[in-house]
Amino acid sequence: MTSKSRPRTISVYLYIPNIIGYIRVLLNCYAFAICFTNKELFSILYFISFVCDALDGWFANLVKFQPSGLFWTWISTACLLVILSQVYRPIFVFLSLLALDIASHWLQMYSTFLVGKSNHKDVKDSTSWLFKLYYGNRMFMGYCCVACEVLYITLFLLAKESEKMTDVLLCAAKQSIIYSALLALLLFGWATKQLVNIIQMKTAADLCVLYDLNKKRNA
């Protein structure tokens, strides 16, 4: 029995979504290794890695296999937020965003497991229209995610040393109307994603509390 099941187990590591995940890890490792010596190349490699996240999910759905790229997305975004916290003042802004992102997604995954759902994106029973729109419309979710990542990359490219984020954004917006419009689009998508994270964290926490209460009643 063991010898027959082993090839199947090994083949999982060679699924296309996982191969894409390995490529993303290599890209991110090299990108962050050169982030302070070659900002432009870092930004290109980081964005390619982010695009691979979408390919990861697409191939995963195609072969009916659960995607494993979400974990690597957290790691790459977390590393970039940590770097931004070192070049902008006050540092707690980006560290707070990091904590919100991790807590929100972890609670969502945990609550999904508790209530027996097969997908953490199943939010049809949510009372928040924005929450349902975010996970129900791939184009809208894609816009918010891309806007968030591109904003972080832009801030990294514009950063010098110990600057205020608001001063950098205002300076960039004053350069032209086009820059102002692009920054407005990025900021709107970023703000929407942070609001969704807050709603997601509250909703998931409520589910965890209800699960514990029901468990105590049935004990």
Span 19-70, pLDDT tens digits: 777 888 899 999 999 999 999 999 999 999 888 877 766 665 655 544 444 5
Number of domains in the chain: 1
Query: For position 94, what pLDDT does the model report?
Result: 94
Least confident of 12-26, 90-104, 143-157: 12-26
| Integer angstrom CA distances of residue 131 from 69, 194, 216 | 21, 11, 29
pTM across the whole model:
0.84
Residue type, 105: H
Instruction: Give the domain range for residue 33.
Output: 2-218
Span 121-139, pLDDT tens digits: 788 888 899 999 999 998 9
